[in-house]
Amino acid sequence: MKKILELINIVLENRDKVKLEEISESSDLRTDCGLDSLDLAELTVRIEAEYDIDIFEEGVITTIGEILNKLDLEKTDE
């Protein structure tokens, strides 16, 4: 989860938004993390570059837990 927090903070920093100290699996990407549509697009690109998967490929992802579940599913498929 530390790497996801790092990627979110890069996105926030690029948009002059306040970085997060911590996230949890229940953290909502929009309300808790403060990401808007452009931020989510950038986060998607960064996660895809880091993990080689498109987290939004099968639909909308709204929480950190959903990102982690998607990454775990992809890792077990390898």
Number of structural domains, the chain?
1
User: Is the pTM higher than 0.85?
Assistant: yes
pLDDT, one tens digit per residue, over 6-53 is: 999 999 999 999 999 999 999 999 999 999 999 999 999 999 999 999
Q: What is the CATH number of the domain that holds 59?
A: 1.10.1200.10
Residue with tokens 């775990």: 72
Q: Please answer whether residues 35 and 11 qualify as being in contact, where contact means their C-beta atoms are separated by less than 8 angstroms.
A: yes
Domain that holds residue 38: 2-77
Give the integer Cα–Cα distance in Å for 74 and 12.
26
